[in-house]
């Protein structure tokens, strides 16, 4: 049996109820409530809110001053020899104190690169009294400064003059070009250095560069320890900043059989000659 509806009550279809009765759910709105630009986060502490996009727009629209321009190399002030020494001697002495007679490569490279970073700013240096060198015809050498921890040797090559390839066994070198141009080639032995070896030795060329004014070439004791120079048609002049790390010894010259056009790193053969 079915129960009868209460007398007097009107019964409406279910669909009609759904379509006509009000719903309590609030209508969605696209309007956000206003945000107070200032909020008290703690008693007495007020934070001012800023829009991220507003900040970006303000940064983009803000007037900009002129950009700082890095000086071109030719605009860099050049150092006199005395100014160079004042700058480099304190740090050079500190770094030199940590170098052994047979230095660790990283420590020696750091020392030489610090010298180079200062030496590259040198202007011209007055030519001291020069004398003929046994390292080649048309090669002259003298001293511009001597002290602790290095000596500044001044050299001059006549047009086409060559400095014979030789090994540095007790002092490393930071070479700086001052005038003219010269080709510098650096070498090292494949096996540990032994200048007393009488037979052929395996050698490789580690670098070849044109040394012009303010150019730098490094000759460490730990690698690339042989070098030779050949002046261009106008000759060349420069400095060898030489730091002695071991006891003086005769200079070993390397008589090298180097085919024309041999690439860097190619195996070469040579013999030592002591003078």
Q: pLDDT tens digits, residue range 256-275?
A: 987 767 788 888 999 999 87
Whole-structure pTM value: 0.73
The pLDDT assigned to 263 comes to 81
Q: Please tell me which residue, 230 or 35, carries the higher pLDDT value.
A: 230
Domain edges within the chain: 76-274
- Which two structure tokens, joined as six digits, stand for 256? 């090298």
The pLDDT assigned to 210 comes to 97
CB atoms within 10 A of CB 75: 8
Contacts of 9 (CB under 8 A, 6+ apart): none
| Average pLDDT of the residues of the chain | 84
- Which two structure tokens, joined as six digits, stand for 88? 């480099």
Contacts of 271 (CB under 8 A, 6+ apart): 199, 200, 201, 254, 255
Q: Please give the biggest Cα pair distance in the chain.
A: 137
Give the separation between CA 231 and CA 237, rounded to whole angstroms. 9
Superfamily of domain 76-274: Jelly Rolls (2.60.120.10)
Residue 172 has pLDDT above 90, yes or no: yes
Q: Please tell me which residue, 227 or 64, carries the higher pLDDT value.
A: 227
Q: pLDDT tens digits, residue range 188-245?
A: 999 999 999 989 999 999 999 999 999 999 999 999 999 999 999 999 999 999 999 9
The pLDDT assigned to 188 comes to 97
The pLDDT assigned to 10 comes to 47
Q: pLDDT tens digits, residue range 86-140?
A: 999 999 999 999 999 889 999 999 999 999 999 999 999 999 999 999 999 999 9
Asked if residue 123 lies in contact with residue 78, where contact means CB atoms within 8 angstroms, the answer is yes
Q: Please tell me which residue, 40 or 194, carries the higher pLDDT value.
A: 194
Residue with tokens 């494949």: 190
Residue 82 has pLDDT above 80, yes or no: yes
What is the SS3 string spanning the chain? Answer: CCCCCCCCCCCCCHHHHHHHCCCCCCCCCCCCCCCCCEEEEECCEEEECCCHHHHHHHHHHCCCCCCCCCCCHHHCCCECHHHHHHHHHHHHHHHHCCCCCCCCHHHHHHHHHHHHHHHCCECCCCCCCCEECCCCCCEEEEEEEECCCCEEEEEEECCCCEEEEEECCCEEEEEEEEEEEEEEEEEEECCCCCCCCCCCEEEEEEEEEEECCCCEEEECCCCCCEEEEEEEEEEEEEEEEEEECCCCCCCEEEEEECCCCCCCCCCEEEEEEEC
The pLDDT assigned to 33 comes to 53
In which band, very low, low, confident or very high, does the pLDDT at 1 lie, cut at 50, 70 and 90?
A: very low
Give the separation between CA 274 and CA 245, rounded to whole angstroms. 20
- Which two structure tokens, joined as six digits, stand for 91? 């740090």
The pLDDT assigned to 257 comes to 85
């Amino acid at each position: 049996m079915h129960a009868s509806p209460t007398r007097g009550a009107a019964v409406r279809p279910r669909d009609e109820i759904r379509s006509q009765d009000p719903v309590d759910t609030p209508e969605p709105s696209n309007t956000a409530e206003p945000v107070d630009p200032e909020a008290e986060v703690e008693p007495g502490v007020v934070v001012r809110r800023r829009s991220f996009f507003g900040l970006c727009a303000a940064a983009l629209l803000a007037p900009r001053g002129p950009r700082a321009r890095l000086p071109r190399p030719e605009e860099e002030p050049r150092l006199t020899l005395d100014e160079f020494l004042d700058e480099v001697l304190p740090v050079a002495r500190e770094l030199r104190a940590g170098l052994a007679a047979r230095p660790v490569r990283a420590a020696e490279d750091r020392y030489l690169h610090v010298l180079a970073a200062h030496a590259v700013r040198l202007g011209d240096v007055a030519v001291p009294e020069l004398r003929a060198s046994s390292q080649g015809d048309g090669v002259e050498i003298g001293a511009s400064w001597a002290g602790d921890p290095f000596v500044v040797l001044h050299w001059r090559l006549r047009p086409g003059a060559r400095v014979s390839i030789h090994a540095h066994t007790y002092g490393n070198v930071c070479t700086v070009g001052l005038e003219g141009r010269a080709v510098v080639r650096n070498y090292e032995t494949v096996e540990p250095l032994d200048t007393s070896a009488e037979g052929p030795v395996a050698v490789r060329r580690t670098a070849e560069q044109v040394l012009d004014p303010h150019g730098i070439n490094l000759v460490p004791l730990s690698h690339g320890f042989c070098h030779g120079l050949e002046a261009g048609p106008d000759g060349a002049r420069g400095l060898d900043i030489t730091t002695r790390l071991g006891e003086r010894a005769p200079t070993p010259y390397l008589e090298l059989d180097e085919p024309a056009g041999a690439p860097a790193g190619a195996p070469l053969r040579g013999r030592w000659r002591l003078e």
